[in-house]
Structure 1
């Protein structure tokens, strides 16, 4: 499977411009890949106070456009995350769209970033299951989720071969993005596609450096600090081979408890 990671520049308070630009980049990527992934809330950026007015539904014109692109280019999409209005609540959500244009999975960001008080603007998601895209067992996570190893382990134990992580990760914490994306791939014997953005938010630059990491901690492809599309091929036999020879997933002890809980 050939992946395309769209590392786009996201501009503050420019939903229409971001959307138009993102769709242009997405179409370019879809022409020459099997799966395209975009960053976190790429339409709106991190202007959280305006999310509800700019949120979309899963039957909105934007999502219909995404579904049409998938069919046109016969390319699956994990089109970053979008602010999705559902049952009166806004979720930071990734809709998984297969090449037939069907939404086969919806993941709302589970771990909301307390530093930015995301819980005031988003409802937490609870869809922690894996899903199939063109024969690849996938799992979705978003940005801050990368800091929670148990979530990645849970997806891996369900059979995930590829876990994606759209993000808006700042440069000042870029070392964490580097370390955690590689650790999550290595400890779970999965491919991790971490798709960041570039640009700034309130003068604070985003890190970029989107990358695909293989199950043995090798970076297959990585972006820089500018807007670009990063391409990488993943081989599912690589996952199977690693799990046949060194499989921490079968050796994990779930009986270990928090200190004090076993007294």
Structure 2
């Protein structure tokens, strides 16, 4: 892992279903980031289409995914920068007697324009389950990159500590999370108690996950005009410090920050989380099932 990693976290307001407009805006930010020496640029989830699955044109737009993945690969090579282009929703035609599928996919594109990582969203938020197919019991992958070992999660994956544990057990020290998380994702009862409940959720979880996994987190969320429920709060978080940078709740924008990866080594030396996970007698088993402990042990 490089001792310093210069990261650009980009917060965008996606114009629904206007892929070319959204790509061009993202590309402008990425070119600016590369000109300022950034080695990695991260975009939000659904940044090309927005999340409008009930719109008639949504599936047709998702069929263009290969075109835009190619555009990002060309852009990464042009600018010599690694890009995680948020997520790209892919429409896949099913074989005979199989249903068509929509997959919500995050890619890691390296500075040569090569795809070196791919992750299909596993933990689908409730309203997504009507439209998307998750990666179910497929393992969470970790990728070797020029920046070191990298893991990727997407949005609601943040709520599951098991996802982080699976990544850091494989050596990931940098975890990238493209997100489309709004204040309106909270229930009516929750909003009555705290209109900013989802912002509190994000700030709390991101700092907690960085500490408890001795990892750096790059979190890129969508932003938008005030009054529309956008949450924003894109940030880069490390142990000991918390957010190194944190964007506002609504506005579009970009922040470029250096991550000192030595912080992760110092945090691990202090907390010994990875060391405990690697022990042969580690006492937690995260393979949940309906079996009782007696049944698992064969008693």
TM-score of the superposition, structure 2-length normalised?
0.80
Match of 1:97 among 109, 127, 136: 109
C-alpha distance after superposition, 1:148-204 (max 9, x if no partner) = 111011101111111011111113411111111111111000001111111169x64
- 1:230 is the counterpart of 2:255: yes
1:11–1:199 Cα contact (<8 Å) kept: no
Which one is further off, 94-103 or 191-200?
Answer: 191-200
Cα deviation, residue 227, structure 1 = 0.9
Structure 1 gap segments, 5+ residues each: none
In 2, the alpha carbon distance for the partners of 1:190 and 1:218 equals 11
Residue aligned with 1:230, SS = strand
1:108–1:127 Cα contact (<8 Å) kept: no
In 1, the alpha carbon distance for the partners of 2:72 and 2:164 equals 27
1:106–1:127 Cα contact (<8 Å) kept: no
Cα deviation, residue 121, structure 1 = 1.4
Distance 1:69 1:16, change over 3 A: closer
Match of 2:79 among 73, 76, 92: 73
Match of 1:24 among 6, 12, 28: 28
Which one is further off, 250-259 or 15-24?
Answer: 250-259
In 2, the alpha carbon distance for the partners of 1:109 and 1:262 equals 30
Residue aligned with 1:49, SS = coil
* Structure exhibiting the larger radius of gyration computed from Cα positions: 2
Task: Give 1:145-184 correspondences, 5 Å limit.
Answer: 145-171=157-183, 172=196, 173-184=198-209
Task: Give 1:233-248 correspondences, 5 Å limit.
Answer: 233-248=258-273
In 2, the alpha carbon distance for the partners of 1:233 and 1:37 equals 14
- Count of residues paired in the alignment: 259
In 1, the alpha carbon distance for the partners of 2:81 and 2:287 equals 43
- 1:6 is the counterpart of 2:30: no
C-alpha distance after superposition, 1:61-118 (max 9, x if no partner) = 311211111111111111100112345422110111001111111111100111x1x1
Aligned to 1:121: 131
Cα deviation, residue 23, structure 1 = 2.3
In 1, the alpha carbon distance for the partners of 2:165 and 2:260 equals 20
Cα deviation, residue 28, structure 1 = 2.1
In 1, the alpha carbon distance for the partners of 2:286 and 2:52 equals 41
In 1, the alpha carbon distance for the partners of 2:256 and 2:123 equals 28
Structure 2 gap segments, 5+ residues each: 95-100, 184-195, 278-282, 295-299
C-alpha distance after superposition, 1:14-51 (max 9, x if no partner) = 33332332222222223220000000010110101243
Match of 1:55 among 62, 67, 75: 62
Distance 1:255 1:93, change over 3 A: closer
Cα deviation, residue 235, structure 1 = 2.0
Aligned to 1:207: 231
Cα-Cα RMSD: 2.2
- 1:35 is the counterpart of 2:59: no
In 2, the alpha carbon distance for the partners of 1:92 and 1:49 equals 16
